[in-house]
Chain A
Amino acid sequence: MAADILALRGLSVAFETPGGRLHALRDVSLGLARGRVLGIAGESGCGKSTLVSAVIGLLPSNARLLGGEVLLDGRDLLAMGAEEMRAIRGQRMTVVFQDPMTALNPVLTIGRQMVAIQYRSGASGAEKRRRAVEYLARVRIPDPERRLGQYPHEFSGGMRQRICIAMALLLKPDLVIADEPTTALDATLELEVIALLRELQGEAGCAVLFISHHLGAIARLCDDVAIMYAGEVVERGAVRDIFHDARHPYTRALLTCDPGRIREATRTLPTIPGALPDLRRPPAGCIFRPRCADRDDRCAVRPGERALGPTHRAACHRAQELAPLARPVA
């Protein structure tokens, strides 16, 4: 998989807490090829944010790396020093955060911020300004020349997120990490931001790691998907594999619970019984076993990933046996 711009191999991260060691990521392996969009989906507490922090090298001080590698273009980011990492962050790898208001500095004009992030480029001030205008126009901010002189509060929420996307792409990175970029937006603006991300990603040819708990957004934007549960990747594959032929009981439960996939209006919605396991004492065997409707005796042993197709993998003993999930008529 030398073609992967980003590859995680057996990544395990724990947090030291007063109540004991919390195993936030366990043996996570993922690959993101150049020019593709990989979505990471899962509910709160599944490890999405820890995964992002590990990739960008901003894990909190109580985090412990228990093993594994994070390879950017073949080089292990976890083995790099702080200085080397700083040269990669914001240059080869950029991030679009969830809340565009707090991601932008409220007391500087967006022009100053867009010029400032090009500090490594070595271009002249006029050239940096020209590029800022160009990228504002690309994310369809009308009248970009004049808007450069305005402050974040003078833009609407949707525009602010588009500015953050412009800033993430300005330096022509190899990898853009979009961490729940549409969660704070209305459905209509979410569609617009997703269409824009897709279009610009195609033009720039960069890879995108898209984190979201909104399955609809992932289906619209991504080429590949990884489903996480309680710190593990339980299933991954192409968007089609996951949305049309889900093989892990957790993925299937998640899809079943999505009210958007239930055609007939119902006043009793499906849920996933039980709660997330305590990650200070992860249960033995399959992590989803306590809540799984399809469990059997084999599940007392932790399942490895099973190959179901060229890229489709599911960590479940029963992955090959489960009947296809009834297709929603959407």
Chain B
Amino acid sequence: MSALLAIEDLAVRFPSGGGLAGRLGLRPLPPIEAVAGVSLALEAGTTYALVGESGSGKSTLARAIVGLVPVARGTIRFQGRSVAGPGAEGLGALRRDVAILFQDPVGSLSPRRTVRSILAEPFRVHGVAADPGREVQRLLAEVGLAADFAHRYPHQLSGGQARRVGVARALALRPKLVIADEPTAGLDVSVQGELLNLMNDLQARLGIAFLMITHNLHVVRHVAHRMGVMYLGRLVEEGATAVIFSSPRHRYTEALLAAGAEPDARAGGPAIRGEVPSLIARPPGCEFHPRCGFALARCRTEAPGLTAIGTLRSFRCHNPAGVAAPGAPAGA
């Protein structure tokens, strides 16, 4: 099986300051692992969603893929060519074929440039001989904007229009993969629908694969083929979106889905207690156990291994949901 993007055991480390003593080398602290051994595969022409709370490592993982942060361990292969890890050929293999859709629709467009200049830039940077005028018109048409938008500046665009310009720029060099970091954050529901419909349409027509980072689970349910749930830099559950939504196994996934569920009345789901622990002090055993309502005694000491059911799904949990309980919770 040759996936478009294949990531194996990827880790990203950042030095943890440790204050003045740490900086002087008097009290060296171990680095923190923002991404701690993630493996996933993205097929061409499909959408993969990474979900998780702030600080779970979603954005760091995406940045590592395009080389914006160094990879400490593991491999990244794009179209079968190694871009990070042993024997890597460097980022050249993906520079043109991977584009990024940034989070802030207006902030990611230069305020001093017209839409035309913004859209023509990728061709200049990559030295692609093209008729910029024609390419800009093609891109605007692709995202459903009228041709006269080429003369506007970013401040003359609404949030939804700025998003479309961002999409058009990402499409410029006909990428195979677009990494979209919170593409719908801050958009109103009707505009969000327009953007997601546009992305789906582009995927159907041009065969683009999307790696989408989001914490909006409703969006994931409607547009992603596969999804991965991140917690403290690890994928705790991964698999086909429909399967995970209908029967989450990891207790963290289960709680996230319950939190996102749209209530008709005030209903409570299995709430998560407390907040995301610090990466500097990872809990022993299963790292979710301090917040989990279903933790067993072994969850406190023994890290759960990966349970994989073919390629359909995999998860790391000693006491998964929807499976006959191996024992009663060991107290609250």
Contacts and interface: CB of A to CB of B under 8 A. Distances in A.
Interface of A: 43-44, 156-159, 186-192, 198, 213, 215-216, 219-220, 243-244, 253-254, 257-262, 265-272, 275, 328, 330
A267 B200 contact: yes
B222 A216 contact: no
A330 B264 contact: yes
Contacts of A257: 189-190, 192-193
Given A186-B54, A187-B217, A271-B190, A260 B261 contact: yes
Interface of B: 53-54, 158-159, 188-194, 196-197, 200, 215-219, 221-223, 241-242, 245, 255-256, 259-266, 271-272, 275-276
Contact of A188 (B191, B263, B272): B272
Contacts of A43: 188-191
Nearest to A267: B200
A254 B190 contact: yes
Nearest to B273: A192
A130 B331 CA distance: 34
B222 A259 contact: yes
B158 A267 contact: no
Given A43-B189, A188-B259, A220-B266, 8 more contacts: A159-B275, A215-B262, A257-B189, A258-B189, A259-B189, A259-B219, A265-B241, A272-B190
A330 B264 CA distance: 7
A243 B263 CA distance: 10
A243 B264 contact: yes
9 contacts: A43-B189, A215-B189, A219-B264, A219-B265, A259-B192, A259-B222, A262-B222, A267-B223, A330-B261
Nearest to B158: A275
A44 B189 CA distance: 10
For the complex of A and B, list the 7 residue pairs with the smallest distance between their C-beta atoms, beginning with the closest.
Answer: A260-B262, A43-B188, A269-B193, A259-B218, A272-B190, A271-B193, A257-B189
Contacts of A156: 275-276
Contacts of A261: 262
Contacts of A198: 266
Contacts of B53: 186, 188-189
Nearest to B291: A188
Contact of A213 (B188, B275, B276): B188
Nearest to B252: A188
